[in-house]
């Protein structure tokens, strides 16, 4: 449950710290006192978009922090998945908004993205506003409500994965068909280009290799002259490097090198021997290079012709290098193959798509059966729950209609109802007044909150449009909900406010520079005066006080 809420530097709230209890908590206050600001701040913890305009003091950031006690262990998977520290005793979520508009979110002091924050807090608290009543009247939200009640999330997720794969496959088939059709129009040109490249037979790395061979062949005389001169230095005559080294080794071997130290002779002779071996190897390498230099004019002509062929092809086919020629060669072969044999590939993919479509239909049928059963149960529960709220003639049903497969399955849902005898049932949005819609939504929320195991539900003036006995019954319903979960209710009705296990009042004060909102928890006498004010207005009389005490005593 929501244990505490801290709001700093947000709209009219400068520094607010509240602690909440189990059961039903009531929040009252005059219009504009700041009740909606509290909900706006709390909505940031649910992942709503932050607005820097809400920051009053531009020299510091805005901070909203909530602590939830004993989070349900079902959330542990989300924590592990996102590398977050799990604390079974409490869960702390925080949102910080800088004056520049930059927003940061934290879960147990670890930075998280807004989607991660939303996925966690969405399992902790549900805020129901008057706007939610409007959503209830729109059929686009009805199927999601049925699914939530049916508990078909895993089956729906599996269906949606397959549906996405099916849509992607159909898109791929369409793209290939279009490409095949386009290629067929250019088949003659593609075949002509492919024939030219088949004759050319470009290979990766070939151009670099023949360019090197061309450089060697075209400058072979100079290369042979230079390598020959180097070889002569190493090997030719009595004064060659190898001969001089042999002479030096012979002379040094005649000297008793141990006179210079015990290890000098062995070390020096080893170094000389290594030098002799290395010099011999270098000499043989130079000779090998010299032997490989070819001055064959016929080979030079052949290499030149091949090199020019590749240069001309690179220019003609408008590619960067011979790698581009090779890729183009492969692509043209694939295109021609697709033109001549593409129908077989498309047929194979279409067969796969038919199999996937059949599986989708089976999964959609499973979802439909679950939804039909859930819709029947939910309709009965809503009717039974809402009738005591002054809707004794209510007839309520959920109409499921099957159609084409979509990402939600094959069903659409419409809430249809009638509030009067002998009146035809029609879509809810056409026949429900604001007060009737509020009572239906409260009934639905009381059912769904239990089914979804939500620990905290917040109602923002859900009782708008009702009064008197109906308001009293709505308050009783919230009171009963408070025995199973934590309920916070913002209300203007004393009948509802009197049902609370705790009561907070929102009020404003003016200082020298600005207006500031405050929230305080009321004791019994404070509650009496607040209820009396709600009953009689600004002038509180004894009758109003007596009535307020009676409401509290009879809650």
What mean pLDDT comes out for the span 323-341? 84
pLDDT (tens digit per residue) in 156-190 = 999 999 999 999 999 999 888 887 777 777 777 88
Higher pLDDT, 146 or 336: 146
**Is residue 235 domain-resident?**
yes
**Is residue 191 domain-resident?**
yes
pLDDT (tens digit per residue) in 179-231 = 777 777 777 788 888 889 999 899 988 888 888 878 777 777 788 788 888 88
Contacting residues for 187 by C-beta, under 8 A, at least 6 apart: 336, 339
**How crowded is residue 369: how many other Cβ atoms within 10 Å of its Cβ?**
12
Give the bridge partners for 238, in sequence order: none
**Is residue 93 domain-resident?**
no
What mean pLDDT comes out for the span 30-44? 87
Whole-number CA gyration radius for the chain: 43
Torsion of CA 477, 478, 483, 488, to 10 degrees: 180
Answer whether 80's CB lies under 8 Å from 86's CB.
Answer: yes
Instruction: Among 306, 336, 366, give the residue marking a domain's end.
Output: 336
Tokens standing for residue 97: 């908004």
Is the model's pLDDT at 266 over the cut of 90?
Answer: no
Query: What's the pLDDT score for residue 135?
Result: 61
Count of domains for the chain: 2
Query: What's the pLDDT score for residue 429?
Result: 76
**Is residue 156 domain-resident?**
no
Query: What's the pLDDT score for residue 246?
Result: 87
Mapping DSSP to helix (H, G, I), strand (E, B) and coil, where does residue 412 land? strand
Instruction: Among 301, 319, 336, give the residue marking a domain's end.
Output: 336
Among all chains, which residue has been given the structure tokens 């059709």? 181
**Is residue 216 domain-resident?**
yes
Of the candidates 491, 458, 402, 387, the residue with the CA atom closest to the CA atom of residue 124: 458
Answer whether 220's CB lies under 8 Å from 227's CB.
Answer: no
**Is residue 315 domain-resident?**
yes
Query: What's the pLDDT score for residue 248?
Result: 87
**How crowded is residue 313: how many other Cβ atoms within 10 Å of its Cβ?**
20
At residue 134 the predicted structure's pLDDT band, cuts being 50, 70 and 90, is: low
What mean pLDDT comes out for the span 319-345? 82
SS3 for 436-454 is: HHHHHHHHHHHHHHHHCCC
Contacting residues for 312 by C-beta, under 8 A, at least 6 apart: none
Higher pLDDT, 145 or 133: 145
Is the model's pLDDT at 444 over the cut of 70?
Answer: yes
pLDDT (tens digit per residue) in 223-262 = 878 888 888 888 887 788 888 888 888 888 888 877 787 7
What mean pLDDT comes out for the span 35-52? 88
Is the model's pLDDT at 373 over the cut of 90?
Answer: yes
Which of 279-293, 356-370, 453-467, 485-499 is predicted with the least confidence, judged by mean pLDDT? 453-467
Is the model's pLDDT at 536 over the cut of 70?
Answer: yes
**Is residue 213 domain-resident?**
yes
Is the model's pLDDT at 137 over the cut of 80?
Answer: no
CA atoms of 93 and 115, how far apart (whole Å): 13
At residue 466 the predicted structure's pLDDT band, cuts being 50, 70 and 90, is: confident
> Domain span at residue 535?
523-555
At residue 452 the predicted structure's pLDDT band, cuts being 50, 70 and 90, is: low
Is the model's pLDDT at 123 over the cut of 90?
Answer: no
Query: What's the pLDDT score for residue 136?
Result: 66
CA atoms of 347 and 334, how far apart (whole Å): 17
Is the model's pLDDT at 265 over the cut of 80?
Answer: no
pLDDT (tens digit per residue) in 380-409 = 999 998 998 888 899 999 999 999 999 999
Burial label, 468 (beta-carbon count in 10 A; 0-12, 13-18, 19+): exposed
Higher pLDDT, 300 or 183: 300
**What pairing do the DSSP bridges indicate for beta strands 486-490 and 24-29?**
parallel
CA atoms of 44 and 49, how far apart (whole Å): 7
Query: What's the pLDDT score for residue 554?
Result: 81
**Is residue 232 domain-resident?**
yes
Is the model's pLDDT at 364 over the cut of 80?
Answer: yes
171-178: list long-range contacts, CB under 8 Å, 24+ apart.
172/349, 173/346, 173/349, 173/350, 173/353, 176/338, 176/342, 176/345, 176/346, 176/349, 177/346
Answer whether 188's CB lies under 8 Å from 302's CB.
Answer: no
Is the model's pLDDT at 293 over the cut of 70?
Answer: yes
CA atoms of 109 and 95, how far apart (whole Å): 10
Instruction: Among 336, 365, 391, give the residue marking a domain's end.
Output: 336
**How crowded is residue 485: how many other Cβ atoms within 10 Å of its Cβ?**
19
């Amino acid at each position: 449950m929501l244990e505490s809420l801290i709001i700093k530097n947000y709209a009219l709230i400068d520094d607010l710290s509240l602690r909440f209890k189990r059961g039903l908590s009531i929040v009252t206050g005059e219009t504009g006192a700041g009740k909606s600001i509290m909900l706006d701040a709390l909505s940031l913890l649910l992942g709503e978009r932050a607005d820097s305009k809400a920051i009053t003091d531009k020299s510091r950031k805005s901070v909203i922090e909530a602590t939830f006690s004993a989070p349900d262990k079902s959330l542990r998977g989300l924590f592990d998945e996102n590398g977050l520290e799990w604390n079974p005793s409490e869960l702390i979520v925080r949102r910080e908004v800088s004056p520049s508009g930059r927003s940061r979110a934290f879960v147990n002091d670890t930075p998280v993205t807004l989607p991660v924050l939303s996925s966690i807090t969405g399992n902790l608290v549900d805020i129901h506003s008057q706007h939610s009543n409007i959503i209830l009247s729109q059929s686009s939200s009805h199927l999601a409500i049925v699914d939530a009640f049916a508990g078909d999330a895993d089956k729906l997720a599996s269906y949606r994965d397959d549906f996405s794969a099916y849509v992607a496959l159909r898109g791929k088939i369409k793209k290939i068909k279009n490409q095949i059709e386009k290629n067929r129009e250019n088949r003659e040109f593609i075949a002509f280009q492919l024939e030219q490249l088949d004759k050319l037979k470009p290979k990766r790395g070939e151009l670099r290799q023949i360019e090197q061979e061309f450089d060697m062949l075209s400058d072979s005389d100079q290369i042979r002259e230079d390598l020959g001169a180097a070889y002569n230095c190493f090997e030719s005559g009595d004064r060659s490097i190898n001969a001089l080294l042999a002479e030096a080794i012979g002379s040094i071997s005649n000297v008793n090198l141990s006179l210079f130290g015990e290890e000098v002779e062995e070390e020096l002779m080893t170094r000389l021997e290594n030098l002799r071996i290395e010099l011999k190897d270098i000499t043989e390498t130079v000779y090998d290079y010299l032997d490989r230099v070819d001055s064959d004019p016929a080979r030079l002509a052949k290499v030149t012709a091949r090199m020019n062929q590749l240069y001309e092809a690179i220019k003609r086919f408008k590619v960067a290098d011979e790698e581009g020629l090779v890729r183009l060669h492969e692509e043209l072969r694939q295109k021609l193959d697709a033109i001549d044999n593409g129908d077989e590939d498309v047929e194979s993919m279409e067969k796969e798509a038919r199999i996937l479509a059949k599986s989708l239909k089976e999964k959609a049928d499973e979802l439909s059966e679950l939804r039909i059963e859930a819709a029947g149960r939910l309709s009965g529960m809503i009717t039974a729950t809402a009738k005591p709220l002054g809707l004794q003639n209510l007839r309520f049903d959920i109409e499921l209609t099957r159609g084409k497969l979509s990402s939600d399955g094959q069903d659409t849902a419409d809430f249809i109802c009638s509030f009067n005898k002998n009146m035809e049932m029609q879509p809810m949005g056409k026949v429900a007044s604001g007060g009737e819609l509020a009572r239906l939504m409260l009934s639905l929320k009381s059912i769904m909150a239990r089914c979804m195991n939500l620990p905290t539900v917040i109602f923002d003036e859900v009782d708008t449009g009702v009064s008197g006995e109906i308001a009293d019954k709505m308050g009783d319903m919230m009171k009963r909900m408070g025995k199973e979960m934590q309920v916070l209710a913002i209300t203007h009705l004393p009948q509802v406010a009197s049902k609370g296990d705790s009561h907070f009042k929102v009020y404003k004060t003016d200082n020298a520079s600005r207006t500031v909102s405050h929230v305080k928890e009321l004791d019994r006498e404070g509650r009496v005066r607040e209820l009396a004010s709600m009953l009689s207005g600004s002038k509180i009389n004894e009758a109003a006080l007596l009535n307020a005490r009676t409401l509290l005593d009879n809650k």
